[in-house]
Structure formats: C-alpha cells, structure tokens
Structure 1
Amino acid sequence: MRPRLVIVGAGPRGTGLLDRIAANAPELYAGTGLDIHLVDPHPPGAGRIWRAAQSPLLWMNSHAEDVTMFTDETVRMTGPVRAGPTLHEWAGLDGRVFADRRIQGRYLRHVHDRAVADLPEGVTVHHHPHRALRVSGPRDGRQRVWLEGRTRPIPADLVVLALGHLDAEPDPEQAALAAYADTHGLVHLPPDFTADSDLSALRPGEPVLVRGFGLAFVDLMVLLTEGRGGRYHEDTYLPSGREPVLYVGSRRGVPYHSKIGYDWTGDRPPLPRFLGPGEIDELRARPGGFDFRRDVWPLVEKELGFAHYHRLFAAHPQRTAVAWGDFEEKYAAAEGDAEIRALVAAAVPGPADRLDLAALDRPLDGVRYGSHEEFQDALRARVTEDLSRRHDPRHSPDLAVFLGLLSVYGQLVRLGDIGSWWHGFFSYLASGPPGPRLRQLLALSRAGVVRFVGAGMTVTARDGVFRASSATVPGYSVAARALVEARLPEPALGRTRDALLRELRTDGAAESPEGLLRVDPVDGRILDGAGRPHPRRFALGPFTDARTPGAFTRPRTGGPAFRQNDATARAVLAFLTGGSGTAGGAGGRGEP
C-alpha cells in the first residue's frame, strides 16, 4: 500500500504545512508515491475562519501588504525558501487596505492549490469534508483516523493535527450564568467566533452587556450596527433603529491598541539582543524550571525597551540627551527595573518617549471617575489619542516595539506553555483593530450605541437580570437581559468540544499546566504523560503548548509558524522515506 499522511485541518495551518511539504519533498522524499488526506468539513485553504460564507463587513485586522503565507530568508528554518505573493500582490489590492475575510479566504485557496500543484509526481491529495472523531492505532504501527458519518477509518502512516481554533465548553462561571439565563428567560452568548454566533436574540434598543474589548468585540460591534442597516457619514453614525445598546467592559476596560498606520523607514533594531536562542536555551536547561514573571519577563522588558530606544535614538535624536553609544552600553549593563528607569530618565527627557509596559498594560489601574458620562468622555479622548499616536511616524518607537514583540514571540514559542497572560498582552499591543474600526467605535459612542463600563468589569446575576459594574466608576452599574462573552473560546483540552482532542486526552496525551496539548518543540510530535514523543502523531496550532501568533504573518519578520511547519514537514518526509524523522531539528538556518 502507498504511504499515507493524514492532515486533520485544511485551513491556514494545514495549508502552510502542505506548502512546506511541497518545498522540502524534492530533497527529502524518495518514495514512488504518497497519498495525503486532508480532513476538514470546511473548504481547503480558507477553513472555517476565512470561509466565503460570512459577512463582507468583517475585515482582517492587518493591512493587505502585511499578510503572507510564504517564507523568505528571515525564517530560521532548515528547508528551502519558497517565495510567493503577499495578499495585496496576489489580489491586486492597495497594500494599505484592510481586506475583508472572504478575500483572504480566496488567497488561502490559491496557496493551497499552488502547494498541491507543486507536489512531486506521484503525490496525490484527497479532501474529506468530514470531522475527524478520533485517532487510534499502536505507537509502532499504522494509525486509523475515524471520521464523522463514515464507518471505515482512513489508514495512516502519520497523522498531523492542524485543527486551528476550536469550540469549547463554558467554564464554571459561564455555565452558571447560562443556567441563570435559561431559568429567567435571559440571553447568554458564550465565547464564540462572532461570525458563527446567532445574534438575533439581541433586540433593538435594549441594553446588552458585553464582556471583552478585543477583536471579537469589534466583530460584534460591526454586525450589530452596519450589519443591521446603520451607516456612517464622515465621523457620525446614522442608526437604523435596529441596534441594541452595547455596554462593554473588560479586565483592562479599554479597546486593543490601533494598528500602526505608517511604514517603517531606516534600519530595523538588531533583534534579538537580550532574548535570543542562547537565553531560551539557558531557561530550558534550568534544573528547577523557570518562572515567567521572575525569569522571563525581565528579559522581555529589556528586549522591547532596546527596540524602543534604538529607534528613538536613531530616528529622533533631538528628543534624547546623551549619545546612543553611551546609552546602549549602560542599558546593556543595567540590572533591574530601578536601574533601567534611572538611566532612561536621565537620557530621555520627555515622559511620552519613555516605554512603560506596566502603564500600557493596565491604563485604568487606580483611575476613578465621578460619573458614567465623565468616563465616556475620558475614554473617547484616550482612544482618540491612541489613534493619533499610532498613525504619527514621530512616534515610530511604537513600531519598533511591535517588531520587538514579533521577535520575542518567536523566541518564547520554544519555552512551551508560559501561561495565557503573555498571549493576551501581545494581542493587546500588537494585534489590535484597524484604525477605521476605532474611529467607528468613537462615532458609535457619541451616538450612544456603545457605552463603556470600565476596567475589571464584573457581572452578577440577581433579581432576574444580569448586572455589570466596574471600580472605574464607583457606584455605577447597569442591568440587562442579555450578556455576550466577546472573546474566543479557550483552547484547553479539558473543555474542548473537539471529539478527537478529547479522545487523545483520554488516551494519555500530555497536557501543559494551562491545559494545552504538549508537543515536542523540535518537530511538533505529540508527547505522552512520560514526555515521550509519539513517532506517528504530530500537532500544530493554538491548542498546543507551542502556539504561535498566527498561521500567517507580516513578510520579513521570521514567521515562527513557518519555522514550525518546515520542521514538521521535514520530519514527516524523513519518516515516510524511512529515515529517522528528525530532519527538522537543529542545523541549516536555525532550530525551530
């Protein structure tokens, strides 16, 4: 029988893996034939998130020129670079536009089709539009992938799980709120992909509590305003009368920072500098392990600070008080937060030019307002200031910090599960909404369609309603008969609704402290409870402890997902050829 590879998940991650198989097969695959089976109920390439069947009002949150599925020489991998067009080059778009998600889905289909076309002769791809329910089979023998609606499994020499984002069961608090809603005739919408949520129960003119201020909230905002017939005239929102009133809050109480709206000029910061492969190796080798806040976060802070000040001294030297060489030497030698703060205070006169990550992370900590209306005015002013800064190249150290965040994320992937805080912090600073979306938010706030609740928003269920409050406005609360949890489902194995992952967990696959599937950081092989890599099962994606910022990325930024895809593709091809299956390890242009 011909060798068989089954890839469960044919969206962006599965497509990226297929592209790296096509790139590496001429060098590594010596077989005479191979069947690759893609298992996904959604279309190959686009998958669920980027499928055509969704509202054209929903955008990507990156400029079209900042989206690529193809590798370049900045990706530290062993396999060959396989260049290709960015989204804007392929689609003929202005590079500065925010394309709608259906266009991205067509781009992903192009990448998929190109990868299939470039596979060696004798390699055939089959798509099965079904859900995978479980994987069975001995460690040292062929696997069997069981599909929904099929009585016979697909035999497989190797299985790769590239499942992407998944649905989850509610946590205990959400379950209690949902039960309360059922008992009292209320509406509770759990974490979900907003495009898939049934929003029809959110009635016109009625208050709706929204917990979450990130990208899921932005989608909700769009679908409940423009999606219900409202429109914008310059900076004014003209309601249709079908909108509910959204009372939104979160832990931070503010929306994610706007996407930066200008291009980079000049030399980039030489990254990594203080958090690179050597530091990661040292952290991984510590006999007693490491603590993120104690051992890792200071390195992250120093790396991001270096990116920030390198740019400030290079592009805006008139706003500094010492020579870069002197500052760099002292910054490198400085130990501890207090020493760095003293150095920066002496070298950078303007407080607005100093990087304060704690203030960025929790801008409303300790801030109080005397009334709900006073807070509305203040938060609109804050969003307006953020928009202005993120579109002004005089503040280009912000873009340097963004590049630093990408570099840091690429390094931290090798540490495995470091907790959820870092991923949220990264998204808040680096993966926020397009500027036009925040301008729409301001217009909706002025129109009274969106109301801000504050930081640390709490929700209680009593007296037959949900009630939200925040310490940001002492004494204020709002009652509503509907509550939306505007965030993605958590990827923990213990709560996933995916049958295949539940079965893997039952069969003994290892979990990280955060409940993620543990994988070998070298090539993505699934680990068991004893830490042994499975010889025939791999996993890539946000449900693993090697999760990356996304399956595609900005060109020339290293793309850690591309690095992982390459390592897994090489391990798969080496195994199927009869090799050791470790071809994706150290060597070549870098270790994954």
Structure 2
Amino acid sequence: MHIGIIGAGPRGLILLADLLQAASQTGKLSISLFDPNPIGGKVWSPTQPLDYIMNSPAQLVTLFNDNQPGANFYEWTQSKVARDFVTQENYQHDFLALMEQLQPNDYAPRALFGVYCQWFYRQQLNRLVPQQQVTYLPTTVTAAQPTSTGFILVTPKQQINVNKLVISSGNVANQLTKTEQALQDYATAHQLTYLGPNHPNEVDLTNIKPKTNVIIRGMGLSFFDYLSQLTTARGGRFTRSGDHGLTYHPSGQEPHIIAGSRRGVPYYPKPINQAQVGEQRPAIFLNPAHIQQGSVAGKLPFKTFINLVQAEIENVYYRIILQNNHPQSDVAEFSAGFAAAADRTAFLNNYHWHPGERLDWKTILNPVAGTKITNIADYQQTLQTWLAKLVADARQGSNHAPITGALATLIDLRTTIQRLVTDQAFTDRDYVEKFLPSFNSFAGFLTAGPPVARYDELMALMRAGIVTILGPQLQVVGVKHQFLARSKFYPDEPFLAQAIIEARLPSANLKRTTNSLLVSLRKQGIITAYQFHPENNETVTSGAVKTDLSTYHPINQQGKPNDQLYVWGVPLSGIEWMTTTLPHPAVHDHNFSVADLITEQLLANPAASS
C-alpha cells in the first residue's frame, strides 16, 4: 500500500511515526511525505531567525505519542544524541549553545524545534524494516485526481499514484477579503505597502523604512513576532537594570510602530510554567458528570458551558488568592464549599476578601472598559500600568499567579473542550452565534498570548517611543495617499503611515483558499465546506472542510465520505477547536488521538488498497 501525506510538519511526522510503528509486522508499506518546505514545515524551519520563539515551554511539547518511548523536546535538547545530530548537520545557527542554556520551562526558538522535527524524522527512517519505504518529496502537490485505487497526485515535475491520501497541511494563504483587497488596491495605487495575513517568517519587511510610521493591526502572537523583526533584528538591544526593568537601546533603523486591535490591548501573557510533564488540574466543574447534568435534549447550552468554564477558573483564582494572601485559610475546605455551592457569589460573600481581590470578569475580558482616557499619551500610561500588573502576576509562576495562573486553567481544559466540539455537544445556533465568535475570541485572548518576557520587551519599546498602542476599535482607511489609523474612541488623534501589517495568520477558509490542492479537490466536489443550520431555514457556511469526525474522511458533494482520503488539523478549524497546537506529552493529547484513529483505519485492510 502506498500512502501519501500532505505536510511534513509536526502532524505529518507524528502520523508517519504511528504508521511505521503499527505496520512493523503487517506487511509492505510505502509512505510519501510531500512538503515544499524542509522537514518540520515552514513554521519550524531551522533557518528562520532565532527571534521567533515557541509559545509552549520546552518540556511540554513532544512528537512522541504516549505509547511510544522517546524524549520530549526539552529532554532531547539535553541529550548527547541531540548534540551529535546538530554537529553532524552543520546548521547555520549555533544550536549547541542554545541547547546548553535552555531550561525546561524556557520558550525555545522555533528553529530549534525544527531541528527536533528533523531528528525525529531521521529516527523514523532508522527504524524502517525491509518491507517499509519512506520518501520525502520537497514539492507542492497541486492537484489530486481520483482513480479506482486511490489518487494521482500532480506536482510541478511528476505524477505519483497513491492508494490513500492524508491532508495534514497547516495555515495556507487565502484570497483577500473585500476589506483587505481594498487596502491592497489603495496601496498599489499610491505606492504604499500592505502586508496581508501571513506567517511572519515569510514576510519581506524591507519596505518598512526606518523612522517611518507602520500600522500593525492585531496584538496576538504574530504582533510580537513582527516587533522583534522590526527592533532587535534591526540592531536594537535590551538591557536590564535592577528593579527598573528593561531598557531598549534603538539602532536607529526601527520604524515607529502604531499598533491596535478591536480590544486595544495585547493578548494576556503566559505565566512562568510550574507544572510538571503530564500534570493537569482536575476538572471540578467541566467534567462528564456536570456536562451530562447540564445538557438538555443531548446538547449542552452555551450559557451552562460558560458557567462551568468560569467556575473552573474562579476556583483556581480564589485558591491562589487564599494561598498567597490568607495563609490561615483552609484552601481545601474553600474548594469543596465552592464546588458544592448552589450560589457561588453568595458563597464568596462569606469570605473577607481584601480590596481588589474579587475576580471581575468584565475587567478580565475588557481591561480598559470604563477607563477615562482623554488622549493617546494617557492611554499609553494606562496600558503601562496594566502591562506591569500582568508581568508581576505572571512572574509568580502558574501555581502562584492569581490572574494568569488561573486563566491557564483553560489549557488544562483543552482536551475536554476539543471533545465537546468534535462530539457536537452544542446546538448549531449556540455554536455559530456564541461559541465561535465569543468563546473562541476570549479563549485566545486569555491564553494564547506570548511568554511574559515579551511583555517586558513591549513595555520597554513603549517607553522608548518605538511603539504606540491605539485605543479600542482600531480603524484603518486610506486618506490623501497614505494610510490613516485611529481608535474609534479617540478619533481626534489619528496617525498617518506608509505601511500596514496584518498581524495574524490566514484563517482556514475552503471557499477563499488559494492552496492549489484544496482548490482542486473542492472544484471536483471531493471536499466541501461544512455548513451549520442555526435555524430551520438558515444555512451558515464555515471555512472548514466537511468531515466525518468519527473517521476523518471528508464528505463529498453527494454527501458521502471518501474512504481513500483523510483530512485533519488546520483545514478543520471551525468544526474542531485549537487545531494549531503542538502535541503535549502524557495528557491524552487530541493530536495523538486523531493520529491513532487515522492510522488504525489506514492499516485496517491494506491488501484491499494495494
């Protein structure tokens, strides 16, 4: 049997490892990996700048399935095997020095994880038995044509027959939206620069000139990537001076960065991790018993879901507050009472909290709401105060940081929430109108931010006058041959710029994708977009590939699954949750569960496909 895997990133690699382990005794197997980027994929290229860092601690990511012996990323960096591999490959970066300095909870350069991916791939080649063959083809599959025995895969130079095909691609480019296209057209007409959604390490920033204004729209992870490329990558440097924090020393090559977003604040930082590998807080509220109890006609109302999620976070928050500030209190007794309370607010009122200790969800979700601000300068001071508060909080560590440590509970709930989504536990109406626009948004804002060190750097850049953050509801338009940016709430202080950067990755969108393979499959009716039905006569088309999540076979135009094709990961964003995360070790990670399921089906009857 010949299996084709589209994408040689982490998902493609863990599926490859699963297949080789499961097929070691089952007969002849040939696997072809297709990716125009090096092994590891474009996000993890070993040649990218070291300023691009991961968003998970080194010890909490792995490529080895729970049922496979092998080192997690951090363990690997500390091994002789890793040192020998890096020395042998002769990479351009000094990875040996990085590995020597790396600590278990550090956020390593993405390039170093890319080296781990390439070593992992080499390990899979070394384990091949005589009847197995693995081929990596550094090319793009532009089309897939169905045959009676599988697919003919079309690449720029050849055509390859496979019996089964697995699409495990990452974020791919889309056609611009109407708003984005209008800005692009304006830029073209007036010799300006518009950089649409993309992976930061693939964006050419040479048109962003020193000392000119550049608008960055979005303040999530990509925002911090662009900050590093426009500052330290241009020769600037940070120094730390005792209790005064970081100081940024400009090189003179930096632009003036005008940043903004809908909320007007960056994503929350991650606390310093204090959890061990495989350690997760037990779910007290969002557990099977409460989910079943709260469900109505087999569906979990969104209001009930949010209530359970907030209860989990509140429980951790108040436990940490008691532990830090009220050592005489019995934390276990509090937690038991909180879990049993019919009215959590009334229960909390029985405790004597210090001023400012009560958790205010409105402030958590909208930190600057209600703040009286008269001008942009005032807003910078307001933000500096908020940023400093979160830095102090996050530096206490995940077990002792009341705010960021409690918000990290959402990460512990990841597998449970992923299961709720794949099991379609919500009504279509709740899912489309509330989960996707509301929960997705606040979950990312609260937990998908940068390591706390990036917050320190942002504050230093603001003090140095390199970065100015606009207030909520950023507006961007073309005016008098330039781009104009302003906050809807402070429109009298606009900024003009010659360039805009959209600081976000392309979203999964089957209708707008420019990925030639997905377009080919869509045009042939082999894959279709998933549709929700919030009301009886209403249809909402998502960007996700319609897929049977019990098998990961896509559903074709005739409404039938294609048992020769599998789709997983990013193309399913919208019908699966958190599709871009790396696998975590020893926590029953969803990535491994899906890889196991696909592997089992691929090898169930290999003779029939040969």
Query: Which band: TM-score by shorter chain?
Result: 0.7 to 0.9
**Which of 159, 169, 174 is the matching residue for 1:163?**
169
The aligned amino acid for 2:562 is: H
**Shift in Å, 1:348:** 6.5
Q: Are residue 364 (structure 1) and residue 365 (structure 2) matched?
A: no
**Shift in Å, 1:459:** 1.1
Question: What SS class does the counterpart of residue 43 from structure 2 fall into?
Answer: coil
After superposition, the C-alpha distances for 1:176-216 in whole angstroms (9 at most, x for unaligned) are 11111111222111111111111111111111111011111
After superposition, the C-alpha distances for 1:275-300 in whole angstroms (9 at most, x for unaligned) are 3456778999957x666x44533333
> Which residue of 2 is the match for residue 225 of structure 1?
231
Question: What SS class does the counterpart of residue 514 from structure 1 fall into?
Answer: strand
Question: What SS class does the counterpart of residue 485 from structure 2 fall into?
Answer: strand
> Which residue of 1 is the match for residue 77 of structure 2?
91
Unmatched 5+ stretches in structure 1: 73-80, 580-592
Cα contact 1:67–1:552 (8 A) shared by 2: yes
Structure 1 distance, partners of 2:338, 2:577, is: 35
> Which residue of 1 is the match for residue 53 of structure 2?
59
Q: Percent identical across equivalent pairs?
A: 27
Question: What SS class does the counterpart of residue 476 from structure 1 fall into?
Answer: strand
After superposition, the C-alpha distances for 1:136-165 in whole angstroms (9 at most, x for unaligned) are 215xx322242331342x222211001011
Q: Are residue 130 (structure 1) and residue 139 (structure 2) matched?
A: yes
Question: What SS class does the counterpart of residue 417 from structure 2 fall into?
Answer: helix
> Which residue of 2 is the match for residue 431 of structure 1?
448
The aligned amino acid for 2:9 is: G
Question: What SS class does the counterpart of residue 515 from structure 1 fall into?
Answer: strand
Q: Are residue 565 (structure 1) and residue 595 (structure 2) matched?
A: yes
Cα contact 2:281–2:412 (8 A) shared by 1: no
Counterparts in 2 of 1:43 and 1:281: CA distance versus 1, 3 Å: farther
Q: Are residue 404 (structure 1) and residue 409 (structure 2) matched?
A: yes
Structure 2 distance, partners of 1:85, 1:172, is: 46
> Which residue of 2 is the match for residue 587 of structure 1?
none
Question: What SS class does the counterpart of residue 454 from structure 1 fall into?
Answer: coil
Cα contact 2:528–2:546 (8 A) shared by 1: yes
Counterparts in 2 of 1:202 and 1:156: CA distance versus 1, 3 Å: same
> Which residue of 2 is the match for residue 78 of structure 1?
none
Cα contact 1:321–1:349 (8 A) shared by 2: no
Alignment map for 1:471-550 (pairs within 5 Å): 471-473=488-490, 475-508=492-525, 509-512=527-530, 513-529=541-557, 532-544=560-572, 545-550=575-580
**Which of 327, 337, 344 is the matching residue for 1:340?**
344
Alignment map for 1:252-267 (pairs within 5 Å): 252-264=263-275
The aligned amino acid for 1:546 is: E
Give structure 1 regions of 4+ aligned residues with deviation exceeding 6 angstroms.
265-269, 278-285, 319-323
> Which residue of 2 is the match for residue 47 of structure 1?
41
Question: What SS class does the counterpart of residue 594 from structure 2 fall into?
Answer: helix
After superposition, the C-alpha distances for 1:67-125 in whole angstroms (9 at most, x for unaligned) are 222233xxxxxxxx113212221112322332212111100111222233334441110
Judge which range, 90-99 or 376-385, deviates more.
Answer: 90-99
Question: What SS class does the counterpart of residue 85 from structure 1 fall into?
Answer: coil
> Pairwise CA RMSD of aligned residues?
3.0
Structure 1 distance, partners of 2:394, 2:405, is: 12
Cα contact 1:213–1:249 (8 A) shared by 2: yes
Counterparts in 2 of 1:323 and 1:440: CA distance versus 1, 3 Å: closer
Counterparts in 2 of 1:206 and 1:266: CA distance versus 1, 3 Å: closer
Counterparts in 2 of 1:269 and 1:8: CA distance versus 1, 3 Å: closer
Cα contact 2:197–2:503 (8 A) shared by 1: yes
Cα contact 1:525–1:533 (8 A) shared by 2: yes
Unmatched 5+ stretches in structure 2: 79-101, 241-245, 423-430, 531-540
Structure 2 distance, partners of 1:186, 1:165, is: 26
**Shift in Å, 1:360:** 2.0
> Which residue of 1 is the match for residue 418 of structure 2?
413
Counterparts in 2 of 1:358 and 1:409: CA distance versus 1, 3 Å: farther
Q: Are residue 375 (structure 1) and residue 343 (structure 2) matched?
A: no
Cα contact 1:492–1:515 (8 A) shared by 2: yes
> Which residue of 2 is the match for residue 114 of structure 1?
123
The aligned amino acid for 2:576 is: A
TM-score by length of 1: 0.86
Counterparts in 2 of 1:518 and 1:346: CA distance versus 1, 3 Å: farther
Counterparts in 2 of 1:258 and 1:534: CA distance versus 1, 3 Å: same
TM-score by length of 2: 0.83
Paired residue total: 555
Question: What SS class does the counterpart of residue 364 from structure 1 fall into?
Answer: coil
Judge which range, 452-461 or 543-552, deviates more.
Answer: 543-552
Cα contact 2:265–2:472 (8 A) shared by 1: yes
Counterparts in 2 of 1:550 and 1:472: CA distance versus 1, 3 Å: same
Structure 2 distance, partners of 1:427, 1:135, is: 34
Q: Are residue 101 (structure 1) and residue 110 (structure 2) matched?
A: yes
Structure 1 distance, partners of 2:606, 2:278, is: 43
**Shift in Å, 1:518:** 2.4
After superposition, the C-alpha distances for 1:388-432 in whole angstroms (9 at most, x for unaligned) are 100114734556535531243212323247525434433322232
> Which residue of 2 is the match for residue 70 of structure 1?
64
The aligned amino acid for 1:12 is: P
